[in-house]
Structure 1
Amino acid sequence: MALSQRLELRTSQSLVMTPQLQQAIKLLQLNNLELTSYIEQELEQNPLLERDERDRPQTEAADPRRGDEDDLDDRSGERDWDAAPDSFSEEMGADWTSGPGSGGGSGADEDALSSIDQRTATTLTLRDHLLEQVHLSLSDPSDRAIAEALVDSLDPAGYLASPVDELADLLGVAPARIEAVLTQLQGFDPAGVFARDLAECLAIQLRERNRLDPAMQTLVANLELAGQRDWTRLKRLCGVDTEDLTDMLAELRALDPRPALAFEGQPVQPLVPDILMRPGRTGGWHLELNPETLPRVLVNQRYARQVGAAAERDKAARSFLSERLQSANWLVRALEQRANTILKVAESIVTHQEAFFHHGVEHLRPLTLREIAETIEMHESTVSRVTANKYMATPRGTYELKYFFTATIQGADGGSHSAEAVRQRIKTLIDQETPDSVLSDDRIVAILRAEGVDIARRTVAKYRDALRIPSSTQRRREKAAIA
Structure 2
Amino acid sequence: MKPSLQLKLSQHLALTPQLQQSIRLLQLSTLELEQELEKYLQENPLLERVEEEYAPLQPGPSDQDSESAADDNTGNDIETAVSSADDESWLGDEENNYSGSSSSGSFDDDDGDFQDVQVATTSLREHLSSQLGLISIPDRDHTLVQCLIEALDDDGYLTLSLEELAETLPAELEIELEELQIALNHLQCFDPTGVGARNAQECLALQLEALHGDDTSVLALKIVRKHLDLLASRDFIRLKKLVECDDVQLRDAQSLIRSLNPRPGSKYAALEARYITPDVVVRKIRGQWVVNVNSDAFPRLRINSLYAQILSRQRGSGLAGQLQEARWLIKNVQQRFDTILRVAQSIVDRQRQFFDHGEVAMRPLVLREIADILGLHESTISRVTTQKYMATPRGIFELKYFFGSHVATEAGGACSATAIRALIKQLIASEEQKTPLSDSQLSEILGQQGIVVARRTIAKYREGLSIPPVKLRRAF
The one of 11, 17, 28 aligned to 2:15: 17
Q: CA deviation at 1:323?
A: 0.5
Amino acid at match of 1:277: V
The one of 268, 274, 292 aligned to 2:273: 268
- Secondary structure of the structure 2 residue equivalent to 1:399: strand
Q: Which whole-Å deviations, capped at 9, do the CAs of 1:96-138 have from their partners, x for residues lacking one?
A: 12x6xxxxxxxxxxxxx8xx63x65x7999x869x99xxxxxx
Q: Give the Cα separation in 1 of the matches to 2:411 and 2:405.
A: 18
Q: Structure 1 residues 416 and 96 mapped into 2: Cα distance closer, same or farther (>3 Å)? A: same
CA contact (8 A) 2:152 2:196 kept: no
Q: Structure 1 residues 376 and 128 mapped into 2: Cα distance closer, same or farther (>3 Å)? A: farther
Q: CA deviation at 1:436?
A: 5.9
1:32-431 correspondence to structure 2 within 5 Å: 32-56=30-54, 76-78=100-102, 95-97=110-112, 117=116, 149=148, 152=151, 162-163=160-161, 166=164, 169=177, 170-171=180-181, 181-184=198-201, 267-281=272-286, 283-300=287-304, 303-309=307-313, 311=314, 318=317, 320-431=318-429
CA contact (8 A) 1:56 1:291 kept: no
- Secondary structure of the structure 2 residue equivalent to 1:50: strand
Q: Give the Cα separation in 2 of the matches to 1:124 and 1:454.
A: 52
1:450-465 correspondence to structure 2 within 5 Å: 450-465=448-463
- Secondary structure of the structure 2 residue equivalent to 1:7: coil
Amino acid at match of 2:326: A
CA contact (8 A) 1:79 1:287 kept: no
Q: Give the Cα separation in 2 of the matches to 1:454 and 1:375.
A: 29
Q: Give the Cα separation in 1 of the matches to 2:30 and 2:150.
A: 36
Q: How many residues align?
A: 341
Q: CA deviation at 1:401?
A: 0.8
Q: CA deviation at 1:79?
A: 11
Q: Give the Cα separation in 2 of the matches to 1:128 and 1:376.
A: 54
CA contact (8 A) 1:275 1:343 kept: yes
Q: Give the Cα separation in 1 of the matches to 2:341 and 2:423.
A: 31
- Secondary structure of the structure 2 residue equivalent to 1:446: helix
Q: Give the Cα separation in 2 of the matches to 1:17 and 1:9.
A: 24
CA contact (8 A) 2:289 2:352 kept: no
- Secondary structure of the structure 2 residue equivalent to 1:423: helix
Q: Give the Cα separation in 2 of the matches to 1:417 and 1:186.
A: 46
User: TM-score, with normalisation over the residues of structure 2?
Assistant: 0.60
CA contact (8 A) 1:150 1:182 kept: no
Amino acid at match of 1:299: I
Per the alignment, residue 92 of structure 2 pairs with: none
Amino acid at match of 2:33: L
CA contact (8 A) 1:277 1:395 kept: yes
Q: Structure 1 residues 51 and 464 mapped into 2: Cα distance closer, same or farther (>3 Å)? A: same
User: TM-score, with normalisation over the residues of structure 1?
Assistant: 0.59
Q: CA deviation at 1:93?
A: 9.0
Amino acid at match of 1:280: I
1:435-474 correspondence to structure 2 within 5 Å: 435=433, 437-474=435-472
Q: Structure 1 residues 411 and 396 mapped into 2: Cα distance closer, same or farther (>3 Å)? A: same
CA contact (8 A) 1:124 1:267 kept: no
CA contact (8 A) 2:311 2:320 kept: no
Q: CA deviation at 1:407?
A: 2.4
Q: Structure 1 residues 267 and 285 mapped into 2: Cα distance closer, same or farther (>3 Å)? A: same
Q: Structure 1 residues 44 and 428 mapped into 2: Cα distance closer, same or farther (>3 Å)? A: same
Q: Give the Cα separation in 2 of the matches to 1:386 and 1:4.
A: 55
Gaps of 5+ in 1: 59-73, 81-91, 100-112, 133-144, 188-206, 212-263
Q: Give the Cα separation in 2 of the matches to 1:357 and 1:432.
A: 23
Q: Which whole-Å deviations, capped at 9, do the CAs of 1:354-399 have from their partners, x for residues lacking one?
A: 1111111011112111111111111111111111111111111111
CA contact (8 A) 2:100 2:337 kept: no
Q: Give the Cα separation in 1 of the matches to 2:26 and 2:121.
A: 30
Q: Give the Cα separation in 2 of the matches to 1:425 and 1:12.
A: 56
Q: Structure 1 residues 326 and 180 mapped into 2: Cα distance closer, same or farther (>3 Å)? A: closer
Q: Give the Cα separation in 2 of the matches to 1:450 and 1:5.
A: 79
Q: Bigger shift: 271-280 or 162-171? A: 162-171
Q: Structure 1 residues 79 and 293 mapped into 2: Cα distance closer, same or farther (>3 Å)? A: closer
Work out the percentage of aligned pairs sharing the same amino acid. 40
**RMSD of aligned alpha carbons:** 4.5
CA contact (8 A) 1:357 1:396 kept: yes
Q: CA deviation at 1:270?
A: 2.2
Larger Rg: 2
Gaps of 5+ in 2: 57-97, 129-143, 167-176, 186-193, 205-228, 234-268
Q: Structure 1 residues 184 and 370 mapped into 2: Cα distance closer, same or farther (>3 Å)? A: farther
Amino acid at match of 2:309: R
- Secondary structure of the structure 1 residue equivalent to 2:368: helix
Per the alignment, residue 138 of structure 2 pairs with: none
Amino acid at match of 1:406: G
